Structure 1
């Protein structure tokens, strides 16, 4: 009985492609990303791939030079997008097939401004020791969300842009408080002039 079950299992493996069992969006990880981030990236990437057929991967290196990471994109299934980051070179970029790069604006994802970009603002912040995990997860999720939006889809596993939304809400509250304070100050000054 055991040998029959083994035979069925190996026959199943032979006739069905491996990608049914495992989806791996992590093309390269030189001990930079932790297991929790890898799991999140794979969940988001698999859902996007299942819904659109577009593979979005991550290649993050500790010691590999930035230029060597470009070669990895050629080995991926097409269409594809690859987020590459080299710690030793201090560089990050998004590359991919021509058609897949039309589905989102990579310059917005790579923007250094916190209201727009989702990678560089985290990498340049001095707070937190685990900026690479946060930056890669944020950037990867942003890429996938933008591609899904292009196809009028919503990803169930998306982490969304919670950080950006929180920052924007805080900005609105702070600016609102400043405007209110200024108006209050001007109104009191005008009242004193009328009374005095």
Structure 2
């Protein structure tokens, strides 16, 4: 079911605002430590503690305004709450750093399961904005599975071997940029398997 249309800038702000807020909070508090209730917390943990409720509120507002949430948005919110919550509760930033790994492995696993069962679940999510023939969706799904696995590996390598600032930069800007580059690189695939105009028109309800 299609959701209600809202201002694209508002939608962008609700989707990426919490991530940007986390980046700013971390950048300002990364070298500081705070003692709360006798326990010392790093700036990273406190930035994470602020990010979780902000992400929840932004997602709920988006759902309220549009009337729907994509499965990827729901899964992302759940993993943010679970892994972010574990980091704050256990005062261990590693759980939050593993969150992107879990997200991309989950997406890759779900898409792989769909292919095994002969279902192209990616098409169910994106076909309204990207009409393609079934064979095009199969190719895109396979490529996206490989891409998600690559992102999961990249996240693990970066957070385990590089500085917190490098990981935060990668999470805030790198993952989004890589996703955009991936879809731009599929332009020839979209063009080759695009539905003819008459088929698109045939899907539209008559007046």
Higher relative contact order (CA 8 A, sep 6+): 2
Whichever structure has more helix as a proportion of its residues is 2
Whether TM-score is above 0.5 comes out as no
Q: Give me the TM-score of the superposition, normalised by structure 1.
A: 0.36
Larger Rg: 1
Whichever structure has more strand as a proportion of its residues is 1
Q: Give me the TM-score of the superposition, normalised by structure 2.
A: 0.34
